[in-house]
Amino acid sequence: MTPYELLAIVAVIGAARALLSLRPVVAGSSGRSTAIAREFLDPFIIAGLAAWVLITFVARTYYIPSGSMLPTLQIHDVLLVDKFEYRFHRPNEGDVVVFPPPVPTPDDFIKRVIGRPGDRLRISDGTVYINGEPLHEPYVAEKPDYSLEIRDYGIYINYGTGWERVDPDSGNVPPKSSWSGPDRIPPHCYIMLGDNRNDSEDSHIWGFAQDGGRFATGARSGAPAGFTGRAFLIFWPPSQAKTL
């Protein structure tokens, strides 16, 4: 349930509560039915408003619809997402993050933070290198079957048939003027990858995620960017429950 849907439900209950307050008391009833209705409705309104504040500003649940984060996240897992943490610091390498991607979709994506602003990043022979150092990734399903390089103010992918640049017309790749260097991830930009590397629609397809502002290029150019929050707990099903 989205915050807007919850707020709509609370509004309907609040309207019913207001109508009961305006309803004339029937002779002989002493207003007992109205008082009873208020007794039941008021806690729902208070609880609904409290829940709205929590899922809007603090935390919310997130359902896993696909296998792009296997084996870390299973299809149908339900997570708790901290929406408050990134108000104080930027995402850390390795965080599992919910965010709106730079491609048209009705839902947020969930991926892992691999590269952050200022990092040099490449993927070679199935290994991710950050600033020249190999990244230890015990969480991946299998090594990627592609190579990737951040260079020449772009993201380049090689599936074994030659290097191709992520097209700014379809992916989010900021213009040269926004970069701090030709081989470094631009400010406010992140490389986000699924743990199921070879079955994940992620940065190797659509470019950079952003921690704010608006997407520079791609299908959602000009749309608001940012991070919804960090996934920190799987709480359903109980057999899969764990912290992330």
Check 21, 30, 111, 221 and give the catalytic one.
111
Tokens of 64: 């896993």
Check 68, 83, 200, 203 and give the catalytic one.
68
- Report the Cα 123 to chain-centroid distance in Å: 23
The DSSP element (H or E) to which 5 belongs, if any, is: helix 3-22
Give the integer Cα–Cα distance in Å for 207 and 110.
Answer: 15
What separation in angstroms does the CA of 43 have from each of 17, 18, 47, 85?
11, 14, 6, 29
Taking a C-beta distance cutoff of 8 angstroms, is the pair 70, 141 a contact? yes
Give the integer Cα–Cα distance in Å for 106 and 95.
Answer: 23
| 68 belongs to the catalytic site | yes
The amino acid present at 46, given as its one-letter code, is I
| Residues whose CB falls within 8 Å of the CB of residue 178, separated by 6 or more in sequence, listed in order | 186, 187, 216
Angle at 243 between CA 113 and CA 7, to 5 degrees: 85
Count Cβ neighbours within 10 Å for each residue of 7-34 and write b for 16 or more, e otherwise. Answer: bebbeebbeebeebeeeeeeeeeeeeeb
Taking a C-beta distance cutoff of 8 angstroms, is the pair 91, 211 a contact? yes
| 111 belongs to the catalytic site | yes
Catalytic machinery residues: 68, 111
